[in-house]
Chains A and B, each alone.
Chain A
Amino acid sequence: AQKITQTQPGMFVQEKEAVTLDCTYDTSDQSYGLFWYKQPSSGEMIFLIYQGSYDEQNATEGRYSLNFQKARKSANLVISASQLGDSAMYFCAMREGERGYGGAQKLVFGQGTRLTINP
């Protein structure tokens, strides 16, 4: 069963506007982590932001913030003041089980959203 859902295949935004990329997830675990990655045309996966299931505050990293609504099982990425260089694919991913000593869990990815920033 699909565990990560990104419902927006593509989004077009004017430069300098804020944009929200949607992500919902499904898990029966109490402990999990949510990630957002940016994938430009080169293919590299660039880590943007992380939210742990027990984190009480929404994560922020520069222009990126994660709108974490646990009861709704959503983890939307908000990019403020978008730039032309933000044009890329964006993937939401989940890891079940928070990292601990000796632990390593796989990531499950959503289908991605292609973001295009227009000048």
Chain B
Amino acid sequence: GAVVSQHPSWVICKSGTSVKIECRSLDFQATTMFWYRQFPKQSLMLMATSNEGSKATYEQGVEKDKFLINHASLTLSTLTVTSAHPEDSSFYICNPTGGLIGKHEQYFGPGTRLTVT
């Protein structure tokens, strides 16, 4: 399967600070990046979609000024949680796609567990 990395795997930060999460597709070019979050004991919910070189589109209820997404290259996308608050504590997972033409699998990063104190 495709190799996707995410960094950091976990982070604890204080309320009001910003956290940057990186997602890399190591062996394919991701023209589209989906960012999901998963609250404890819940399912994955899509936050935003970004295409390489374009601005991200956000799902309803997700603040675009709070969750900054950069998808400047085909192998790297970043999600920055600005002015984090305890309610932002969640598991964030990236899903790079677009480079596996003809294949039906979709691969996810290993996730980043964010805890805001």
Contact surface of A with B, Cβ cutoff 8 Å: 33, 35, 37, 42-45, 47, 50, 52, 91, 95, 99, 101-102, 104, 106-112
Contact = CB atoms under 8 A, between A and B. Distances in A.
Interface of B: 1, 31-32, 34, 38, 42-46, 49, 91, 93, 95, 97-98, 100-108, 110-111, 113
Chief secondary structure at chain A's binding surface: loop
A37 B93 CA distance: 14
A66 B99 CA distance: 25
Contact of A110 (B31, B43, B46): B43
13 contacts: A33-B104, A37-B108, A42-B110, A43-B113, A44-B108, A44-B111, A45-B93, A50-B105, A102-B31, A102-B98, A106-B34, A107-B44, A107-B46
Contact of B106 (A44, A107, A110, A111): A107
A91 B104 contact: no
B98 A104 contact: yes
B49 to A, nearest CB: 6
